[in-house]
């Protein structure tokens, strides 16, 4: 079966660093995406990993280990506006555009 797991909820303090983990067991692997979704809004793209290693984009970085079926999203210098849900999604087959979404992690940032 297809399984993508994330912690349900996390809390952190403004200015801190938080790491959101994602583990996946899928029939195939052709890339992993991270999306941010504020309450009542559409998901927005944050990052994409297909090769092992770290991708950095400003305050956000994403890491992938294909051998371990593991990714994390690292958020630095947290701001109140980072309070949102963070969704990990895997493209499991090269012949389709289908993404399998993880359970999502709700992050709350406190002052």
Partner 1 sequence: DTEVTQTPKHLVMGMTNKKSLKCEQHMGHRAMYWYKQKAKKPPELMFVYSYEKLSINESVPSRFSPECPNSSLLNLHLHALQPEDSALYLCASSQASSGLSSYEQYFGPGTRLTVT
Which positions lie near partner 1, rule CB under 8 A? Answer: 30-31, 33, 41-45, 48, 50, 87, 91, 94, 96-104, 106
CB of 77 to partner 1, least distance (A): 24
Contact by Cβ (8 Å): 58, 67: no
Distance (Å) of CA 29 to CA 16, 54, 69, 100: 32, 17, 9, 11
| CA quadruple 7, 101, 87, 20: dihedral sign | positive
Taking the least distance from each CB to partner 1, the nearer of 14 and 41 is 41
User: What minimum distance in Å lies between the beta carbon of 5 and partner 1?
Assistant: 12
Pick the closer one to partner 1 by CB: 69 or 104: 104
Q: Which is nearer to partner 1, 38 or 68 (CB)?
A: 38
Question: What's the closest the beta carbon of residue 69 comes to partner 1, in angstroms?
Answer: 17
- If the CB atoms of residues 33 and 63 are measured against partner 1, the closer one turns out to be 33
Cα separation of 46 and 11, whole Å? 20
| Residue 8 to residues 34, 65, 84, 91, Cα–Cα distance (Å) | 15, 21, 12, 21
CB of 104 to partner 1, least distance (A): 5
Report the SS3 class of residue 7: coil
């Amino acid at each position: 079966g297809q399984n993508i797991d994330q912690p349900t909820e996390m809390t952190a303090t403004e200015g801190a660093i938080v790491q959101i983990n994602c583990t996946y067991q899928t029939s195939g692997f052709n890339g992993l995406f991270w999306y941010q979704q504020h309450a009542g809004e559409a998901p927005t793209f944050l990052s994409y990993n297909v090769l092992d290693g770290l991708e950095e984009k400003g305050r956000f970085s994403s890491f992938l280990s294909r051998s371990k079926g593991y990714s994390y999203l690292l958020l630095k210098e947290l701001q109140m506006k980072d309070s949102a849900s963070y969704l990990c999604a895997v493209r499991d087959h090269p012949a389709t555009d289908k993404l399998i979404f993880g359970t999502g992690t709700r992050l709350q940032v406190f002052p």
